[in-house]
């Protein structure tokens, strides 16, 4: 009887799979997709039908033909009669967007309707995602279905920084191909910055003869590279000729990707100044930068010198002749206004124009450039700092320091593109950091990208029309290879594509995690170095009434979590996580994701958790931690979670301020040891405190100093150091503990940030 029921079940499954249509794994999820019975099979008689008189349509058809040939060896016929047809027709009523399309697949005919060839291109992307992803002997077949599709946002972008590390044309083309596959349509190409000028400008040849090359220090981490010394030969870099750039523009156009070039001004211009020192205020010759070391470097254009404006206009003239985009990006971020304060020309410009602050001087420069750009029938876009000192009248704002700049600009009826660091900086970690390649800090997982909504909650509904869309940014301080680029954008680019294309109510994370498997398989077959980032386990503390637990989470619901607390490497047979794990002593929690009995994680997630008398205590600060380094909240110093050398969520950061923290243990107790963990990371401007003072109190008013522990680590040490400042004591009736860590305040002599604010980082006050 038992056996019989199994046989019946198997038969049912088999027969249903013969008829039921499996939904293809299209990303981004189309707006409407209805499956019906059967397949359209591509064969040697299959023909494309289209208007061959339209050159744009013709090249899209050639693209489709090439792809089908690669996948199957079949050469699709063009406008032939007889066999099965894939018919492409322009229909102005098919969609409310020029990028939308309607796709109707039946057994003998596929009908594609769109307002123009962009819609055809996207219909083709959807069709291609129903095929095998590399050449096999399988028949190419499309399930019968009806699809109606169009994008939610107009600006669906990816930025690529080719200044910090030059990317060859082939890599850029691959980036464009991936963007096109996931229906992203804007490549913001960051072509100039301090460490390299990458675009040939015929009128100023030194920009690429000099500005594109630097002394090779790839053996050192970006932030700890010294300045190049006179006599060293610049050998590392590269640039694109104008012909190469035009070729990429054409390549992108066919794939419905608009390239928005960025020419940074007035800051991030050290490479230009190295080429032509007269562009800066001080006009002193300098070598191209090797990394992030700005010591004695000029990185701004002089805003008081009219020749600089002539230069910038000449450059933009050549840029606009290469790139037909509506938008030209002028940067505008992170301008050090110091040199302008010291410059006679800049100061007299301010006086002559009634400008009260250097921010207004920046606004003057940007507004003047906007006039030039508008006169050339283009529009200007810049990073959100262009709001400071007054926004240029027609400017579009790219909001990167959170969403505030975008909200402010949209409220002023200016167009905006959202690209907040969290979650859209793809140079940040997506997992780990255990087992991950060194990233620029931060933590932006696949699900965080998926859940992003480009319409900020705070923005009134009538201002949403000014949000053009969003983009993710790939800065390349830590990324020097094509494989490195692939790793950071795959698979987060897929989540971005869906969040910018699919209507919010049609998005479904669980369904996305199912569909993405088809794409992972494709990445493997094509040899892309993609991240399995969403397999990382997130370890979080939970404390209540002085007790401590850790909660383990994973974004992919199909995975189970296995963990250890004895320091051993977890396997598929380790303890299965079911509920928060009680922590009674100091342990290392290690956890992996497991599926079908296989460990999926690169490396276990790992966290030191300490149980001590202060866990869960309330912390009062004399100076609040900086907003960007709030760790897990105000009580993160007593959450039992120790920091790691990567700057993830465990650290509280203080910019130049001392850390003065008072914790309330909730009841009087005896203590025998006090400690605080601090970090030194020279390249990130983070230094150990000069000393730490421990005090105790019974009433929270009168404190007794117990000890002062001096720092014995060299402030110039470039190692990543986590140091425990500890003091043995013997005290009873202690209810309050005060810890004062004195900041070194400023970066030391010889440091790239010499004299500027230093950071102090602490992870935990341990009370034993
Ligand atoms: C930026 O990240 N500096 C725009
Ligand atoms: Zn100046």
Q: DSSP letters along 459-521, please?
A: S-GGGGGGEEEEEEEE--TT--SHHHHHHHHTTHHHHHHHHHHS-GGG--HHHHHHHHHHHHH
Phi first, then psi, for residue 697 (nearest 5°) are -155, 155
Q: Which of 190, 260, 334, 477 to mutate to test the pocket of ligand 1 (most atoms within 8 A of CB)?
A: 334
Token readout for 364 is 């003057």
Mean pLDDT of the chain: 92
Architecture of the domain whose range is 536-608: Sandwich (2.60)
Q: Once rounded to an integer, what is the mean pLDDT over residues 21-37?
A: 94
Ligand nearest to the CA of 193: 1
Confidence of residue 13 (pLDDT cuts 50, 70, 90): very low
Which CATH number fits the domain 155-526, given the four candidates 2.40.50.110, 3.20.20.80, 3.40.640.10, 3.40.605.10?
3.20.20.80
Q: Once rounded to an integer, what is the mean pLDDT over residues 689-694?
A: 97
Q: How many Å lie between the centroid of ligand 2 and the Cα of residue 703?
A: 53
Q: How many Å lie between the centroid of ligand 2 and the Cα of residue 280?
A: 7
pLDDT exceeds 80 at position 648 = no
What's the count of helices (H) and strands (E) in the chain, helices before strands? Answer: 17, 34
Confidence of residue 123 (pLDDT cuts 50, 70, 90): very high
Please report the pLDDT score of residue 292 as a whole number: 87
Please report the pLDDT score of residue 163 as a whole number: 98
Asked which of 9-18, 493-502, 561-570, 576-585 is least confident by mean pLDDT, the reply is: 9-18
Please report the pLDDT score of residue 11 as a whole number: 33
Q: How many Å lie between the centroid of ligand 2 and the Cα of residue 305?
A: 7
**Model confidence over 404-422: pLDDT tens digits?**
999 999 999 999 999 999 9
Output the pTM of the full model: 0.84
Helix axes 242-254, 169-181, angle to 10 degrees: 20
Q: Which of 267, 268, 333, 476 to mutate to test the pocket of ligand 1 (most atoms within 8 A of CB)?
A: 333
Ligand nearest to the CA of 267: 1
Token readout for 306 is 């009219």
Please report the pLDDT score of residue 534 as a whole number: 66
Please report the pLDDT score of residue 9 as a whole number: 34
Pocket of ligand 1 (CB under 6 A): 333-334, 383, 400
pLDDT exceeds 50 at position 669 = yes
Summarize the chain as % helix, strand, coil (round to 5): 30, 30, 45
- What Cα–Cα distance (Å) separates residue 763 from each residue in 139, 619, 626, 631, 653? 58, 13, 14, 8, 9
Task: Residue 644: name the closest of 679, 603, 616 by CA.
Answer: 679
Q: DSSP letters along 565-601, please?
A: SBSPPP-TTSEEP-SPEEE-S-EEEEEEEEETTEE--
pLDDT exceeds 80 at position 602 = no
Higher pLDDT, 643 or 153: 153
Residue nearest to atom 3 of ligand 1 (CA): 333
Q: How many Å lie between the centroid of ligand 2 and the Cα of residue 301?
A: 7
Q: Which atom belonging to ligand 1 lies closest to the Cα atom of 268?
A: 3
| Fold agreement (23-149, 536-608) | no
Query: Which secondary structure element, helix H or strand E, spans residue 15, and what is its range?
Result: helix 2-19
**Model confidence over 488-515: pLDDT tens digits?**
999 999 999 999 999 999 999 999 998 9
Please report the pLDDT score of residue 634 as a whole number: 78
Q: Once rounded to an integer, what is the mean pLDDT over residues 34-43?
A: 96
**Model confidence over 215-241: pLDDT tens digits?**
999 999 898 899 999 899 999 999 999
Asked which of 29-33, 188-192, 554-558, 689-693 is least confident by mean pLDDT, the reply is: 554-558
Q: Where are the domains of the chain?
A: 23-149, 155-526, 536-608, 610-768
* Positions marked active-site: 193, 268, 334
CATH T-level assignment (fold) for domain 610-768: Jelly Rolls (2.60.120)
Q: Which atom belonging to ligand 1 lies closest to the Cα atom of 400?
A: 4
Q: Once rounded to an integer, what is the mean pLDDT over residues 361-380?
A: 98
Asked if the bond preceding 423 is cis, omega within 30° of 0, the reply is yes
Q: Once rounded to an integer, what is the mean pLDDT over residues 275-299?
A: 94
**Model confidence over 198-220: pLDDT tens digits?**
999 999 999 999 999 999 999 99
Residue nearest to atom 2 of ligand 1 (CA): 400
| Assigned superfamily of 23-149 | Chitobiase/beta-hexosaminidase domain 2-like (3.30.379.10)
């Amino acid at each position: 009887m038992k056996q019989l029921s199994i046989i019946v079940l198997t038969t049912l499954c088999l027969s249903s799979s013969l008829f039921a249509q499996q939904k293809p794994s299209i990303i981004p999820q189309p707006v409407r997709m209805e499956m019906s019975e059967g397949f359209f099979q591509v064969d040697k008689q299959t023909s494309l039908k289209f208007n061959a008189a339209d050159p744009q349509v013709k090249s899209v058809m050639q693209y489709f033909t090439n792809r089908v040939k690669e996948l199957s060896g079949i050469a699709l016929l063009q406008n032939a009669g007889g066999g099965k047809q894939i018919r492409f027709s322009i229909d102005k009523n098919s969609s409310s967007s020029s990028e939308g399309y309607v796709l109707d697949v039946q057994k003998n005919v596929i009908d594609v309707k769109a307002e123009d060839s962009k819609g055809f291109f996207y219909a083709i992307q959807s069709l291609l995602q129903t095929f095998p992803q590399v050449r096999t002997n399988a028949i190419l077949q499309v399930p019968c279905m009806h699809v109606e599709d169009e994008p939610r946002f107009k600006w669906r972008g990816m930025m690529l920084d080719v200044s910090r590390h030059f990317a060859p044309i082939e890599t850029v083309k691959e980036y464009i191909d991936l963007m096109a596959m996931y229906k992203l349509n804007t490549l913001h190409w960051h072509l100039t910055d301090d460490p390299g000028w990458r675009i040939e400008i015929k009128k100023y040849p030194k920009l690429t003869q000099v500005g594109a090359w630097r002394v090779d220090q790839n053996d050192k981490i970006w932030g700890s590279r010294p300045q190049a010394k006179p006599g060293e030969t610049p050998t590392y870099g590269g640039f694109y000729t104008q012909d190469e750039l035009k070729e990429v523009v054409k390549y992108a156009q066919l794939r419905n990707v608009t390239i928005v070039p960025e020419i940074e001004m007035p800051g991030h211009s050290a490479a230009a100044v190295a080429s032509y020192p007269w562009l800066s205020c001080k006009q002193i010759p300098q070598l191209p930068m090797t990394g992030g070391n700005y010591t004695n470097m000029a990185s701004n254009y002089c805003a008081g010198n009219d020749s600089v404006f002539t230069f910038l206009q000449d450059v933009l003239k050549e840029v606009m002749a290469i790139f037909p985009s509506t938008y030209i990006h002028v940067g505008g971020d992170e301008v050090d206004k110091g040199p302008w304060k010291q410059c006679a020309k800049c100061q007299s410009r301010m006086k002559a124009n009634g400008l009260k602050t250097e921010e207004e001087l920046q606004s003057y420069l940007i507004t003047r450039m906007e006039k030039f750009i508008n006169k050339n029938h283009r529009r200007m876009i810049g990073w959100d700092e262009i709001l400071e000192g007054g926004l240029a009248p027609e400017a579009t704002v790219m909001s990167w320091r959170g969403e505030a700049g975008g909200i402010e600009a949209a409220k002023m009826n200016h167009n905006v593109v959202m690209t907040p660091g969290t979650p859209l900086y793809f140079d940040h970690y997506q997992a780990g950091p255990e087992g991950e390649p060194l990233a620029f800090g931060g933590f932006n997982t696949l699900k965080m990208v998926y859940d992003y909504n480009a319409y900020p909650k705070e923005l009134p509904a009538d201002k949403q029309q000014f949000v053009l869309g969003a983009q993710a940014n790939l800065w390349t301080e830590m990324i020097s290879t094509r494989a490195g680029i692939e790793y950071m954008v795959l698979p987060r680019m897929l989540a971005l594509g869906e969040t910018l294309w699919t209507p919010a109510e049609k998005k479904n994370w669980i369904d996305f995690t199912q569909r993405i498997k088809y794409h992972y398989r494709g990445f493997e077959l094509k040899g892309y170095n993609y991240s399995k980032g969403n397999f990382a386990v997130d370890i979080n503390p939970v404390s209540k009434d002085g007790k401590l637990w850790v909660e383990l989470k994973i974004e992919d619901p199909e995975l189970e979590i296995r963990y250890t607390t004895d320091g051993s490497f977890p396997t598929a047979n380790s303890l299965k996580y079911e509920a928060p794990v009680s922590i009674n002593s100091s342990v290392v929690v290690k956890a992996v994701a497991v599926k079908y009995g296989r460990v999926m994680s690169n490396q276990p997630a790992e966290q030191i958790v300490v149980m001590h008398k202060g866990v869960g205590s309330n912390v009062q600060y004399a100076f609040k931690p900086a907003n960007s380094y709030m760790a897990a909240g105000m009580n993160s110093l007593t959450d039992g979670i120790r920091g790691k050398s990567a700057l993830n969520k465990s650290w509280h950061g203080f910019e130049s301020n001392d850390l003065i923290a008072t914790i309330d243990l909730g009841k009087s107790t005896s203590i025998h040891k006090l400690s605080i963990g601090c970090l030194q990371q020279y390249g990130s401007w983070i230094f150990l405190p000069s000393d730490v003072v421990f005090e105790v109190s019974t009433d929270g008013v009168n404190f007794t100093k117990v000890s002062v522990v001096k720092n014995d680590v060299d402030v110039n040490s470039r190692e990543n150091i986590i140091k425990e400042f500890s003091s043995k004591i013997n005290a009873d009736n202690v209810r309050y503990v005060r810890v004062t860590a004195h900041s070194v305040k400023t970066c030391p002599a010889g440091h790239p940030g010499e004299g500027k604010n230093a950071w102090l980082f602490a992870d935990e006050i341990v009370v034993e």
